[in-house]
Structure 1
Amino acid sequence: MIWGSKDVRWTVSHSRELVPSAAVRRGERVSPLPRALVDLDDLPITAGDVTMSLTEALQQSDVDGFLVIQRGTVVFERYLTMQPETSHILQSVSKSMTAALVGVLVGEGRIHPDDLVPDHLSELAGSCWDGCTIEHLLDMRAGVAFNETDYEDEASESYRGFRVLGWLPRLEDDPSPTDYIAAMSLQGPHGGPFEYRSILTDVLGWCLERASGEPLASLFASRIWQPMGAGHDADLLLGPGGFPLVDGGFCVTLADLARFGLMFLQGGAVDGRQVVPAEWVQRLRSADADRIEAFRSSPDSHDMPPTAFYRDQWWVRDAEAGIYSGYGIHGQQVLVHQPSECVVARMSSWPRPWDDDAARLGDAAAFAVCAALG
């Protein structure tokens, strides 16, 4: 859907016009975002052997909007090709949002990381999902086969899977998302090496709906979006049969993405009220050798520090310091950076799903801003 579009910039802010969606309603109370803006336009950004200003870096990496919060206050904000009220697709930053909802339902006792997937989805008993836990889904360590290394390879299993889910035009004989998931095969044991596969998040969302008895959009609204004090309604894209596309289908405003990051910066609390259990957020501050080793063998580790790992649908760069990000194709990011007490929210429209140079420039800009403010 996105990577097949001829006009990515239009598509990222009009996704609900292309794919069915459900509204994620905001509440009556909006969490305030006071402003004390700082001039960072000329901040030097170095990526590789090239140095440019922050303004040039944002322009060259197809950024649509860029917002920085420090200690609860907006200190920098630029809207390049979008407006404050624009609802922009998050792609895989949606995964981090979905995992936050898992934390809330764990706190309610409705689901547990050690639960087996078929405990919640009985139709998956006797399939490749036997022995797979919620934790395996959260950490991308299930053993199912779904090669997601090339979003544009039409012969790949992941391309077929995204087509089945409704991200791309479906074929007449494509199965339903749930039937497709039930028929998947194993490539290795559950709990093995990290391998990034979006379908695992979709199974996670299916488990959340079953555990709660509620549609994902309304569940997320009541447990996260409204208590967080979102300023605008969000949208969640839906696949065939109303299947929630939580692997990448949340569409939100830039400020609300920043509010979500701020909630994690504040240990899961908003305006003094706990939204996501503090102990769930604290999991991201706890490194262990097993997760680091499982991540190290992945190609995704190459541009990450040796302390990095993947947990609860976040890319953790440094658990001890409290530095972690949600990332999405076409250039989406929310960075939580405890040392500088900053959150950086970025929305972009890269022409192709993944661009290594744009990704490095985006990270360079985000970390340079945190360093300058910190």
Structure 2
Amino acid sequence: MPETRRNADLHVSSGNKPRWNQPATRRHGFHNAHRMFRRALSLRAAEQVVLEEAEDAALAARNEVAMLTGRAEFSALVVAEGGRLLLARHAADFPADQPHSIQSISKLTMHLIASRLIAEGRLDPAHMVERYVPEIGSGFRGAQVQDVLDMNVINHFSEDYDDPYAEVYAEEEALGFRLPEPGREEPTMLSFLCGITGDDLRNPGDTIRYSSANTDLLTVICDRLCPGALPGMLEEIAEAAGVEGCFHMSLSRKGLPAFSGGGCLTATDLARFGLLLVRVAQGTEARVGDTARTRSALSRTHRHLPAPRDHIRYADQMMTDGRWIGHSGYGGQFLMADTVSGRVVAYLSVLENESAFSAEYMADTIAAMEALLPPLG
């Protein structure tokens, strides 16, 4: 037998992180994640949405643009509206055709998929999780699907990025982001979820309990409802978005897409995805999602994020302030789609601190992006 060695990008070492997520090599990892997954699906649209270059000089001169693009963490900033590209800025080490890990912005694909299945009557958000996954463990048994959609389940899964041994890092084994310890079998998405434990799952507070495991569970549920159909559903989303490059998505050991954080897109294609969300919200896109469900997330009463992002509410795998819809991504990404003006702001960056997360950094990012939206009235 030939000599072998473990894949260095996925092997876990210092701080319980693989090389792609080590602070010193994280920027390279986020810029090349599409080449580092254990396995991945790559999709390209047959028809690309045209974005004509139409730089807005007043927008480009905004202090918020200077702040966002002047950071050491900056990778790209793209602003689009309709068929126009109003602003496009890329870091010197990040060309316009380079994919970037979008991490939890990927959850917006689950919003579109679950919304369509709910609208078609195949998924009932009022049902308990065990109706669809009878073997689920105590971490989700007794929770309503709607609470899973809204990040409103209290269990023992931790997404504390400051804790290098939090369950969110173990989850990476099931998503194809890291290798298990030598001699241990790579878990499936289902086996990982069934191992999560919990007691009273009800959320007694006003803030959400953010957990990427919720999205993984929705992925398993949707696969149970439509066996083998999820890659095709993602292809429909890529087609509807009209991406120019490839929509890359990490796959689990059993071939389930890692909708919780496995997506990679160029900055401009991320903006195209945001424009798709606008069309869904405005009722001009019938191929994916469900307009009524997306619109209801804007006004439905639901819990908010912790401070300093407490003006943002969470519903159906989306973040919203009641006007825009979008999502953040671990490491420094955000996608904001304004349902009123139709303007989309896509921001990519890579935090190089130990945890790859800062609530203050993300709050400042969101505030700056909000300032780039047209004023109401």
TM-score class, shorter-chain normalisation, is 0.7 to 0.9
- What letter matches 2:242 in structure 1? G
Residues 265-280 of structure 1 correspond to what in structure 2 (within 5 A)? 265-268=278-281, 273-280=286-293
- What letter matches 1:238 in structure 2? L
1:359 to 357, 362, 365: 362
Residues 1-374 of structure 1 correspond to what in structure 2 (within 5 A)? 1=18, 2-4=20-22, 6-39=24-57, 40-45=59-64, 54-60=65-71, 62-80=73-91, 81-124=93-136, 127-149=138-160, 151-163=161-173, 165-171=175-181, 172-173=183-184, 176-177=187-188, 178-190=190-202, 192-193=204-205, 194-222=208-236, 224-268=237-281, 273-288=286-301, 291-292=302-303, 295=304, 300-306=305-311, 308-317=312-321, 319=322, 322-352=323-353, 353-371=356-374
Deviation at 1:371, TM superposition (A): 4.7
What's the CA shift string for 1:249-276, capped at 9, x where partnerless? 0111222211221122233469764532
**Closer/same/farther in 2, CA of residues 273 and 207 from structure 1, 3 Å limit:** closer
Conservation of the 8 A alpha-carbon contact between 1:334 and 1:346 = yes
Deviation at 1:285, TM superposition (A): 1.8
Q: Which runs of 4+ in 1 moved over 6 A?
A: none
The TM-score, its normalising length taken from structure 2, stands at 0.83
Q: Secondary structure at the match of 1:102?
A: helix
* 2:5 counterpart residue number: none
Deviation at 1:120, TM superposition (A): 2.3
Conservation of the 8 A alpha-carbon contact between 2:117 and 2:123 = yes
5+ residue gaps, structure 2, are: 1-17
Conservation of the 8 A alpha-carbon contact between 1:61 and 1:358 = no
Question: What is the rounded CA distance, in whole Å, between the counterparts of 1:169 and 1:373 in structure 2?
Answer: 48
**Closer/same/farther in 2, CA of residues 183 and 323 from structure 1, 3 Å limit:** same
Deviation at 1:79, TM superposition (A): 1.7
Q: Which moved more, 1:202-211 or 1:168-177?
A: 168-177
- What letter matches 1:341 in structure 2? G
Deviation at 1:339, TM superposition (A): 4.5
- What letter matches 1:312 in structure 2? D
Question: What is the rounded CA distance, in whole Å, between the counterparts of 1:244 and 1:30 in structure 2?
Answer: 23
Q: Secondary structure at the match of 1:65?
A: strand
Question: What is the rounded CA distance, in whole Å, between the counterparts of 1:313 and 1:279 in structure 2?
Answer: 15
* 2:14 counterpart residue number: none
**Closer/same/farther in 2, CA of residues 251 and 63 from structure 1, 3 Å limit:** same
Deviation at 1:163, TM superposition (A): 4.2
What is the root-mean-square deviation of aligned Cα atoms in Å? 2.6
Q: Secondary structure at the match of 1:186?
A: coil
Q: Secondary structure at the match of 1:344?
A: strand
Conservation of the 8 A alpha-carbon contact between 1:22 and 1:217 = no
**Closer/same/farther in 2, CA of residues 5 and 348 from structure 1, 3 Å limit:** same
Deviation at 1:343, TM superposition (A): 0.8
Conservation of the 8 A alpha-carbon contact between 1:323 and 1:336 = yes
Question: What is the rounded CA distance, in whole Å, between the counterparts of 1:180 and 1:275 in structure 2?
Answer: 29
Conservation of the 8 A alpha-carbon contact between 1:23 and 1:233 = no
Deviation at 1:243, TM superposition (A): 4.3
Q: Which moved more, 1:345-354 or 1:106-115?
A: 106-115
What's the CA shift string for 1:218-244, capped at 9, x where partnerless? 32113x221332222211112334343
Question: What is the rounded CA distance, in whole Å, between the counterparts of 2:107 and 2:203 in structure 1?
Answer: 19
The TM-score, its normalising length taken from structure 1, stands at 0.84
Deviation at 1:75, TM superposition (A): 0.8
* 1:49 counterpart residue number: none
Question: What is the rounded CA distance, in whole Å, between the counterparts of 2:264 and 2:313 in structure 1?
Answer: 26
5+ residue gaps, structure 1, are: 46-53
What's the CA shift string for 1:70-102, capped at 9, x where partnerless? 244221111223223222111011112221111
Q: Secondary structure at the match of 1:240?
A: coil
